[in-house]
Amino acid sequence: MQQRLAVLLALALTSVAMPLPAAAAKTKPKPYKLHLFAPSKENTGHVFTVKAWGKAKKKRELIVLYHAFGKCAKTAGAAERKNGQVFIDRNVGPGKFTVNHKVVFISPGNGSLCGYLVNRAKGLDSKPSARASRHITIF
């Protein structure tokens, strides 16, 4: 009986002394976040809104463009060289931001909206502070 109690006590102490799992540990919040919203399907000639929101620890340039027939490039500079059509080019931050832009497509197609938070001092080809993308079909 005493041996059983000693074993149970040892197991109880072991489970109390074990460290928390990694998921329970505190993680630092990301200093830069970017989200994009637009309808996934839209009619040609119809006005709709592209919305970009997020947060920036320091002042950054928000660039949102439409890239036809493919995925978004890794940098804003590469996206512009791929003939991306710029919808939004605005300074944001520090802090939270929301930017809306009205858009009308005059021809059908498939493409991606590509968003970048860029440190302009490092150039458009530097790694962006944050990226976001959204596929869109115009019919």
User: What contacts 92, CB < 8 A, 6 or more positions away?
Assistant: 56, 59, 60, 61, 62, 99, 117
Spatial contact of 56 and 117, defined as CB atoms under 8 Å apart = yes
What number does CATH give the domain 28-138?
A: 2.60.40.10
Three-class SS state of 76: helix
Beta bridge partners of 97: 54
Per-residue pLDDT of the chain (139 residues; tens, 9 = 90+): 556 545 544 544 454 444 555 554 567 788 999 999 999 999 999 999 999 999 999 999 999 999 887 789 999 999 989 888 999 999 999 999 999 999 999 999 999 999 999 999 999 999 999 999 999 999 9
Spatial contact of 120 and 61, defined as CB atoms under 8 Å apart = yes
Helix (H) or strand (E) run with residue 1 in it: none
Alpha-carbon distance 132 to 34, whole Å?
6
Alpha-carbon distance 86 to 11, whole Å?
62
Three-class SS state of 17: helix
Alpha-carbon distance 139 to 136, whole Å?
10
User: Amino acid identity of 96?
Assistant: K
Q: Where do the structural domains in the chain lie, given as residue ranges? A: 28-138
